[in-house]
Structures are given as structure tokens and as C-alpha cells.
Amino acid sequence: MRFSRDCDSCDGDGQCEFCSVEFHLRAKCIGDHTLDVTSKDLISSDHTVVPVDYSSDSFSNDPSDHRGIIIVKLRKGQELRLRAIARKGIGKDHAKWSPAATVTFMYEPDIHINEELMETLTLEEKVSWVESSPTKVFDIDPNTEQVVVVDPEAYTYDDEVLSELKPFVVLADKLGRLAVQLVAGGSGVKTVRVSYASARAPDDLDTRLLRAMITKGLIEPISSVFVNLVNADFTAKQRGLRITEERVILDCSPESPLEYIQVQIANVESRFASAISDSGEITVEGRVKDGIPHLTRVGGFEVDVSLEGSIILCRQVDQPGMIGKVGSILGEENVNVSFMSVGRIAPRKQAVMAIGVDDQPSRETLKKIGDIPAVEEFVFLKL
Ligand SMILES: [Zn+2]
């Protein structure tokens, strides 16, 4: 038998016939006496690899030494069936090979398919449902065309799905926060429209979590309520906040679950007039770039600023030297600028500058920025 780490017939994870041996055990207590299930009850698939036998070299007179190592004791009616895989290794590789016993266990997923609902799907829909699972848990029985569970243990992908969505969850929260801070007075938000742009099939994206995070972002900066996945919809409803969602289906590579998220607030005035889009809503849009959420649009202006610190938005007459002027005011006050980007409608016309800052600038610093003659309006948004 090979050490699994040296095995070149598999990945070295002890899965193949050269580096693993399977054992089976079946025991049932039918009598009134407790049944000791021991290492001697293990049946090896390879006669050269067997449990350590104490009986042959033991000089003890204690009869229990001759029955192998006790695994479990069964009472009348109890039954044990197990499959064990033995792998060869040394304690230096992993403590499980140290001369001591370690027992681990895992829950076996028990997956039930709602046959009634499954019946309502066409074969094509069943196939796409089966394929939507990143691991091969389900398949379609070619004879019956029914969805069947083929590998329940492969059902461990929730974390994978969540980790893919994670940066978008952060983005959703921050877009909500930005949008509500752009509302004049911060209140009176009733109608919010969220657009999710994605190249994936609409059924592939469950937006509940994103909607909850946008709701959280919209509500928390202006109230003392804590919003979470469970109470988000209820809290929104209670506050008369109506969030409608729509999908924008894109024709690009579906590698990322989403291309961008847009949050629009209708029927409100803005503290920053440039945040109002042509259609009359406060509009913010963001994307995830290299795992980091970015603000990529404010009103009709394209910008690009990572949403890691806070943000200053500044509309100015586009002219050379503006970035330098604002940058030096912030620098004098020791406010670290992490990011700057300028979105302009046309050269030398209106431009919106987005500045990412690590700390909150003082009132005086913000006033100095506002006093730059070319600056027409600006706003500080806390994230
Ligand atoms: Zn192997």
C-alpha cells in the first residue's frame, strides 16, 4: 500500500485503490445482552490490510483483549453499518496518523425533491435546474426524465455561491447608503428602483440578499433601525418604502453573477443636483472590480471610485488643475485621498469629480473645497 502523499495514481488525497483500502462493518444487536462491536468486525477489501490483531501476540488472560478494539456498544434493536477508508500516512504529515485514536463524523445531507413542483417543469427546465448546481448533486434519470439525487455529499456549495455574491452584497449596501445621503433632507424616500444587470439567466440570481442590503443601506443612515435579511422587506414596508426590482439582461460573458447594480430614488430633491439623471431620479450605479465595489455612475456622470472609504462628489467647470487644487486642500488637512476620478459630459464643460477619502474631512476643509471658484456643488458622503 502506498502512502497517499506519494501516490501518483490519484491526486494524493487517498482516493484510489493504490493508496486506500475500504472497510465495511455491519452489526446488529438482536439479543438481550449488549453487543460489543470491535475492530474485528471490520471487513477489509484487501486481505493484506487488516485491523491490528492483539489476540495473537497478547499474553493477557483478560478475554476482552482477544476481541479486538471496541468501537461501539449496541443495545437490542440497534444496528450499525459503516464504510471506512484506511489511508497510509505518518504523524509528521498529520496528527490523525499519530498512534492515538481520532474519530470524526459528518452529517450526511438528506435531500428531498419536491416532486409535485418538479412535475411542473419541462425537461429543458429540469436540465437547467440540474445544471444550476455548481457541484454534481442532481441528475436526470434518462428513463423516467425525473430529477434524481446522485451525490448528496456534494451538496456543500452554499458557501461557494455566497462567496461569489459577497462583494455585490457589500456594493448593494453602499449604493443604498450613497443614494439616501444624496436625498435633500434625507427623508421622504418612497419609491426606489433597483436594476441588476447580468449576463446570467434571470433564474440564476436570487436577489433577496441584495435587496435586503440595499434596504439596509437606504434605512440605516437615516434611522436607528438595524436591518437584516430577515426583517428587511418588513421594515421597508413599514416605512412606506417601495422597492421595485428589474433585470437588465446583458449579452456578455456570464462569469460574474452581476455586471452592475443601479439604485434610483424617484420623486425626491437631491443635495447634489448632478445626481439626478435625465429621467429625474437620483441615480447611483456600481460595479465590482477585482472583488472591490466601485461607484461607477452618479446621475448622468460616469465616475470610478472604490467604495472603501468615504466619498466627496464635486461638480465643477471642467478645467485643468482641478484635481491638483482639491488634492492639495485635502493634503494640507492630512486627509488621505485613496482615489480620484473625473467624469465629464464633454471636455471643458461640466465634470463630476469623485474623490475617495479615508477620513472625514473637517467642516473647514470642505468649505475650502466649496470656495474654489470653479466648484459649482459638492457633497460629502459617509460610507
Ligand atoms: Zn492514490
Q: How confident is the model at residue 230 (pLDDT cuts 50, 70, 90)?
A: low
| Domain 161-301 of CATH type 3.30.420.40 | no
Q: 83 alpha carbon to ligand 1 midpoint, in Å?
A: 18
383, three cell numbers: 460610507
Q: Can you give the pLDDT at residue 160?
A: 59
Neighbours of ion ligand 1 (CB under 5 A): 7, 9-10, 16, 18-19
Claim: this prediction has a pTM higher than 0.85: no
Least confident stretch, 19-33, 41-55, 95-109, 263-277: 95-109
Q: 17 alpha carbon to ligand 1 midpoint, in Å?
A: 6
Q: 5 alpha carbon to ligand 1 midpoint, in Å?
A: 8
Higher pLDDT, 31 or 206: 31
Burial of 259 (0-12, 13-18, 19+ CB in 10 A): middle
Which CATH topology does 308-383 take?
Alpha-Beta Plaits (3.30.70)
Least confident stretch, 29-38, 87-96, 291-300: 87-96
Q: How confident is the model at residue 17 (pLDDT cuts 50, 70, 90)?
A: confident
Task: State the DSSP string of 259-320.
Answer: SEEEEEEES--BSSGGGB-TTSSEEEEEEEETTEEEEEEETTEEEEEETTSEEEEEEEE--T
Higher pLDDT, 23 or 131: 23
Q: 90 alpha carbon to ligand 1 midpoint, in Å?
A: 16
Q: How confident is the model at residue 60 (pLDDT cuts 50, 70, 90)?
A: low
Q: Quick check: helix, strand or coil at residue 63?
A: helix
Residue listed under C-alpha cell 459617509? 382
The per-residue b/e assignment along 202-218, b for 16 or more CB within 10 angstroms, e otherwise, is eeebebebbbbbbbbbb
Q: Is the pLDDT of residue 276 over 80?
A: yes
| Domain 20-87 of CATH type 1.10.1270.20 | no
Cβ atoms of residues 65 and 54 within 8 Å: yes
Q: 2 alpha carbon to ligand 1 midpoint, in Å?
A: 7
Q: What is the mean pLDDT of residues 219-243?
A: 85
Q: What is the mean pLDDT of residues 322-350?
A: 82
Domain ranges of the chain: 20-87, 115-156, 161-301, 308-383
Q: Whole-number mean pLDDT of the chain? A: 86
216, three cell numbers: 439596509
Whether 20-87 shares its CATH topology with 161-301 is answered no
Q: Can you give the pLDDT at residue 185?
A: 82
Cβ atoms of residues 168 and 257 within 8 Å: yes
Q: Can you give the pLDDT at residue 190?
A: 93
